[in-house]
Amino acid sequence: MSDNKQFSLICIYLKISTLYESDLKYICERFSNNNKPKFTDIEAITIYLFAMKEQQCFEIKNIYKFTKDYLFSWFPDLPSYEAFSTRLNNLNSIFIRLSQILVDSNIPEDCDFSNSLLDSMPIITCSGKRKAKVATEITDKSFCSTKNLWYYGVKLHALAFFRPKTIPYPESIVITPASENDLNVFKQNWSGIINRTFWGDKIYIDESFFQSLFQNNNSIMYTPVKEPKGKSEVLKKIDKAYNDLFSRAVSKVRQPIESFFNWLIQKTDIQKASKVRSTKGLLVHIFGRIAAAFI
């Protein structure tokens, strides 16, 4: 292993160790006789994040094999694969908290805090043609128009700060069942934000709701134009030039949120969750990958 990767491993271990002692350990306190295992939670988290970040190992089986083959001198108390996998799944709540800490603590200085981009992407546990058997408590079936695909899974919703000439930075990430409407997610999670300009796609159109939001919070939502049903062809032609120009302008501003999702997929392969076998495993899959992207 190169010196740079050894340095990265040490840095990740020290970072996780610091966060664990100050915050994370209180999420997974043990009250059994095995409350101080030889193979620690810090080691398990470090291995997971390092193998994913530096080696592009995205499956737990590959992470374990890489650790056993190349990092065993660093982690001599590495347990069996089954015990390692179980340990990671039991740390799902830590990964949720860790991802939140890492995202919140690395906000770039060039963020435009007055403008936010919104969108969602699917995280797929299996094709819609099959019967879902995994994580049914938090997943369901939906259709992804961009992929032209029915699938079972969840949706990752992101509210992200606009950044000039680069990908936006996430302010908030929400996970819902796949069928949850994006507009409902906005209303439940972000409608209390004041003095903000939001940029979304047509799914966020709700004229009366956003008129009220503007009056009460001084926040406004811009979306591409959606022609109302029943509008005459004559009026459509009259408004076409303005509507097309406005819609292109909105789409150009919000396009970087798609680049953020592409970056996250490229860094972590987060969208493919077909190897997951439990609800805890799905939570580790999602939030462990978010943590790996931002560590």
Which of 90, 122, 143 is the C-terminal boundary of a domain?
Answer: 90
Contact call for residues 200 and 220 (beta carbons, < 8 A):
no
In a domain, 284, yes or no: no
Classify the C-alpha dihedral 186-191-196-201 as positive or negative: positive
- In terms of Cα–Cα distance, which of 153, 96, 102 is closest to 123? 153
Same domain, 128 and 206: yes
Give me the pLDDT at residue 23, please.
92
pLDDT (mean) for 233-261: 83
Same domain, 115 and 257: yes
Give me the pLDDT at residue 27, please.
85
In a domain, 66, yes or no: yes
CA-to-CA dists, residue 1 to 17, 67, 120, 152, angstroms: 22, 12, 37, 39
Same domain, 156 and 22: no
Instruction: Count the domains in the chain.
Output: 2
Same domain, 197 and 250: yes
pTM of the model: 0.90
CA 38 to chain centre: 32
Give me the pLDDT at residue 6, please.
92
In a domain, 15, yes or no: yes
Same domain, 127 and 236: yes
Same domain, 169 and 258: yes
In a domain, 293, yes or no: no
Which structural domain range is residue 199 located in? 110-268
Whether 146 has a pLDDT exceeding 90, the answer reads no
Whether 156 has a pLDDT exceeding 60, the answer reads yes
In a domain, 103, yes or no: no
Same domain, 115 and 188: yes
Same domain, 120 and 263: yes
Which of 44, 59, 90 is the C-terminal boundary of a domain?
Answer: 90
What tens digit of pLDDT does each residue of 249-275 get?
Answer: 999 999 999 999 999 999 999 999 999
Contact call for residues 41 and 91 (beta carbons, < 8 A):
yes
pLDDT (mean) for 219-244: 74
Sequence-ordered list of residues with C-beta below 8 angstroms from that of 76, at least 6 positions apart, any chain: none
Same domain, 128 and 83: no
Same domain, 83 and 132: no
Sequence-ordered list of residues with C-beta below 8 angstroms from that of 265, at least 6 positions apart, any chain: 121, 271
Give me the pLDDT at residue 240, please.
76
> What share of the chain in percent tops pLDDT 70?
93
Same domain, 143 and 176: yes
Same domain, 119 and 260: yes
Give me the pLDDT at residue 257, please.
94
The residue that leads in pLDDT, 197 or 128, is: 197
What tens digit of pLDDT does each residue of 96-120 get?
Answer: 999 999 999 999 999 999 999 999 9
Give me the pLDDT at residue 35, please.
64
In a domain, 280, yes or no: no
Whether 241 has a pLDDT exceeding 80, the answer reads no
In a domain, 214, yes or no: yes
In a domain, 248, yes or no: yes
Whether 79 has a pLDDT exceeding 70, the answer reads yes
Whether 37 has a pLDDT exceeding 60, the answer reads yes
Give the model's confidence band at 236: pLDDT under 50 very low, under 70 low, under 90 confident, else very high.
low
